[in-house]
Amino acid sequence: MHILCQLAGVSRSGYYKWLLKADQPDKDYVDYLRIKEVFDQGKGKYGWRNIKMRLPTMNHKKIQRIMRKYGLTAKVRRKNPYRALHKKTMEHRIFPNKLQRAFNQTRPFKVFCTDITYIPLLHGFVYLSVVKDIASGEIMA
């Protein structure tokens, strides 16, 4: 046995330790099934914090260890391109409320509303901006 351990490049004590553990069932498998169930409920988006909230009796270090052991990694959400832009440009800006939520206007060409949205394409985005007359519901631009 000594020669085989030398050929494999492992110590004899390490080999015997592995031999003892090789016959034992995996102690984490039952907990893995519980974690995997919650992970799948979250469609692969739950990290250890969300799993910990749904399994409060399990230690977060154990959840992290089991997720690492079985290769459970959460999908990372794609960054919103407007979030940082909005924070920088609109921070601490307050506009006067001239309309006072009177959205049911009767005179055309008096009050307009606008919105901008982006449409994802294969190679970037296309922006769509619309100006609408509130009274008539007509798209002006």
Place of tokens 């052991």: 69
pLDDT for 106 beyond 80 = no
pTM greater than 0.85:
no
Task: Quickly list DSSP for 66-115.
Answer: HHHHHT--PPPPPPPHHHHHHHHHHTT-----SSTT-----STTS-EEEE
Contacts of 84 by beta carbon, 8 Å cutoff, 6+ apart? none
Helix (H, G, I), strand (E, B) or coil at 132: strand
pLDDT, residue 92, reads 61
Residue 1 pLDDT greater than 90, yes or no: no
pLDDT computed for residue 121 by the predictor: 87
Give the pLDDT confidence of 33-92 residue by residue, as tens digits: 999 999 999 999 999 999 999 999 999 999 999 999 999 999 887 877 776 665 556 656
Q: What is residue 21's predicted lDDT score, i.e. its pLDDT?
A: 79
Per-residue pLDDT reduced to its tens digit, 22-34: 777 788 899 999 9
**Tell me, what's the pLDDT at 89?**
61
